[in-house]
Amino acid sequence: MSTVIGQPVRRREDARLIVGRGQFTDDLKLPGMTYAVIVRSPYAHARIRRIDVSRALAMPGVLAVFTGKDLEGVLGPVPTAWIPPNADLKQTVHRALAVDEVRYAGDGVAMVVAEDRYTARDAAEAVEVEYEPLPAVVDAWAAVQEGAPLVHPDAPGNLALHWTAGSVDQKAFDEAEVVVRQRFVQQRLIPNPMEPRAAVAWYDPGTENLTVWMTSQNPHIHRFLLSGILGIPEHRLRVVAQDVGGGFGSKISCYPDEALVAHAARTLARPVKWVEDRSEHFMATTHGRDHVQEVELAGRKDGTIEALRVKIWANLGAYLSTAAPGVPTILFGLIVNGCYRIPQASTEVYGVFTHTTPVDAYRGAGRPEATYLIERMVDLFADAIGMDPVEVRRKNFVPPDAFPYTNAFGITYDSGNYPLALDKALERVDYGGFRARQAQARQEGRYLGIGFSTYVEMCGLGPSEVAGAVGFQGGLWENATVRVHPSGKIQVMTGASPHGQGEETTFAQIVAEQLGVAMDDIEVVHGDTDRVTMGWGTYGSRTLAVGGSAVAVACQRLIEKGRRIAAHMLEADADDVAFQQGRYQVQGVPGRSVSFQEVALQAHLAWNLPQGVEPGMEATANYNPSNFTFPFGTHVAIVEVDPDSGLVRLERYVAVDDCGTPINPLIIAGQVHGGVVQGVGQALWEGAVYNAEGQLLTGSFLEYAMPKARFFPPIETDSTVTPSPHNPLGVKGVGETGTIAATPAVVNAVMDALKPFNIRHLDMPLTPEKVWRAIHGKGERQ
């Protein structure tokens, strides 16, 4: 009977965004607006000797200059909101502006507020800061060595955390037929949403209410954390994130900057706007990934994987960002076995402070790092035993009849059919045909390669009890209110906070389907703590599975309330009234029916409601999921490597994804496309590079290579459908699958292409020079 769910409905939000009628934070114009610029340290590590603001303050139009000393006792520290248990987490202090010492190039030291943004920018240059440069350490591995410069005196050895999970009996390795060991560098990435961060704050001295418009993936979390930093109670604080131009995780975090803007607005009693510029974004917005991984796999010659041991050093940067401690532990360490039934597995994580930009969630957050290592290890294992990598995968898959499946870390996978997705992908790429073509090409001196990534990921973290158990300092349920107006028009208030994912469309589809009303009668409201009761935001591919389920539950409540009113109107027993396609129908009596929207009107008029039914037509659900969801699939990359230049050309990309029941295939395809592009970006082009002094050498789009459309063939998408039993919609997250799957698929493909040159492994990004050097045996670049 499905009519709206499953349809490729075009995104309703696109029209306003495409014609420039979106309302982004920087679009906001308030009377009396002032402009802030943050003065940032050019040094990665230095002592602040002196800050002289007098010249800046004397400039006409400058209203205020704040330094760290001014804020002592005024602004609280910037908190960490993920504290994994038994990890010995060092919660070092992160001040809104540095006081004695700066810890990364980009660390804020002062903020200037002026009448216009030009004056503010000039005044920022007039703030004189005298630094005493100190030795810096930028690499996680180097930072844990004896004698490395310390980032925080209260974190000896620069260790922010030490966390372990699972266990492996040493015998599994001692007695193994085959042991494969590999060290992987999971390079640092810089998230680059189209819109950089921005904030506008306005304080009403009469009511003492403060409003902050900001680029947020989770306004309620930001309200909660800002309340603590600012000392303004939550009920006097409103956070609004109307249109947000992407985040990819970087707008989850609570940064000092937005709090500074809010503080300035409170102090000056004037609205204050701050917009990060792109150069600032590169250095002051959280980065992603950055692991050194040592991986060991024990197996049998027949292709069976028996044990997996993982040890990593995760670079967390100079301060613990909001969710940072949870990313390389919970979101990584509990799923390193991927889609394989590996009886014994263990993860050991060292979280390390360095003099670099803080690292936090970036699309996939932990799961790309896990998927990369296991998918690469499977290929290396296949190589070691001379077996086809596809067959090794097939042999070790968690079989379809084993679900729910609990892995070696105690994580229970909801549902899956891994061979089905693999077979579909193999058929699409004509695997046998490709191998023949590859052999032929090699004869001609051309190097083609195919790479597989049979991934599974966990997303839509929950229930909240689990969030608590893993140290996430929040609940992971979601709130939805479905409000039916007297005219039958509907507003859906969601605590999820989409910022590009399209839930204004998909949530309306859910409501349209459930209540049988037209899409045009439904508006989805999000991103405003005054309009939405509560919420935990959009990240970790939770929005549809958790937020969408909340919407569905709220709709069910409305249907039940409406049934009682309808029965009363139709003079029938509520049990005899069925609800179908928007109408309450007395069963067996055709013609005796009333529409949902007619019932809603009667609910509001309340002239004649049944006993015990309250007026009004609004329902709220606080949906607490019963578990994560586990989307999976097979991605296949086909590449050609030019041996003369080392250039890797992506010839073909096939993605077969299973995200449960599809709500909107068009949006799913869009998510997969974007995700794949980002994942390939890590494999081939992207990578943040610091020099030894802690200067970011890839600080602009001139050096940092974001993927371009012209680098890609058309991405071919396909799907299988294995509904999740864990939520009422049967859905699984799809926002991160592409990023998670694509990286190892492409690296595996390049390594496959390079087989004739006996190259075992190259670390990402697989830049032309790196590949060329490997092919021609020139060693690593010095």
Partner 1 sequence: MIAERFRYLRPKDLDEALAWLAESQGEVRVLAGGHSLLPLMKLRLAAPQTVLDVERVEALRGIRLEGDVLHIGAMTRYHELARDPLVAEYAPLLAMAARTVGDPQVRNRGTVGGSICHADPAADFPAAALAMDAEVELRSRAGKRRLPLREFLLGPLSTALAPNELLAAIHVPLRAGWGAAYEKFPHPASGYAVAGVAALINKEGGAARAVAVAVTGVGPVAYRAAATEEVLTGASLDAARIQDGASQVAEGVEVNADLFASADYRRHLAQVLAARALRAAWGSD
| Chain positions contacting partner 1, by CB under 8 A | 117-118, 121-122, 277-279, 644-647, 684-685, 689, 697-698, 700-706, 708, 711, 767-769, 772-773, 778, 781
Neighbour order of strands in the sheet with 46-52: 101-102, 46-52, 128-133
Least CB distance to partner 1 at residue 122 (A): 7
- Residue whose CB is less far from partner 1, 47 or 278: 278
Least CB distance to partner 1 at residue 685 (A): 5
In sequence order, the 6+-apart residues with CB closer than 8 A to the CB of 714 are none
Least CB distance to partner 1 at residue 5 (A): 39
Least CB distance to partner 1 at residue 208 (A): 33
Q: Cα dihedral angle (177, 178, 179, 185), rounded to 10 degrees? A: -160
Least CB distance to partner 1 at residue 42 (A): 13
| Token code pair at residue 734 | 């799809």
Q: How far apart (Å, rounded) are the C-alpha atoms in residues 356 and 597?
A: 56
Q: What single-letter amino acid sits at 707?
A: P
Chain position carrying tokens 């992407």: 246
Least CB distance to partner 1 at residue 60 (A): 13
Chain position carrying tokens 């979280």: 351
- Residue whose CB is less far from partner 1, 122 or 523: 122
Q: Are 706 and 192 in contact (CB under 8 A)?
A: yes
Q: Which residues of 527-542 are buried (b: 16+ CB within 10 A; e: fewer)?
A: bbbeebebbbbbbbbb
- Residue whose CB is less far from partner 1, 99 or 705: 705
Least CB distance to partner 1 at residue 282 (A): 12
Q: Are 214 and 199 in contact (CB under 8 A)?
A: yes
Least CB distance to partner 1 at residue 762 (A): 15
Q: Which stretches of 330-478 are DSSP H helices? A: 330-333, 367-385, 389-396, 418-429, 431-443, 464-469
| Token code pair at residue 704 | 């940092």
- Residue whose CB is less far from partner 1, 390 or 684: 684
Residue 58 phi, psi dihedral angles, 5° rounding: -80, -10
Least CB distance to partner 1 at residue 704 (A): 6
- Residue whose CB is less far from partner 1, 545 or 637: 637
- Residue whose CB is less far from partner 1, 119 or 479: 119
- Dihedral of CA 499/501/506/507: which sign? negative
| Token code pair at residue 705 | 């290579």
- Residue whose CB is less far from partner 1, 181 or 708: 708
Which one, of 229, 250, 258, 283, lies nearest residue 95 by Cα? Answer: 229
Neighbour order of strands in the sheet with 593-595: 577-580, 583-586, 593-595
- Residue whose CB is less far from partner 1, 247 or 646: 646
- Residue whose CB is less far from partner 1, 196 or 333: 196
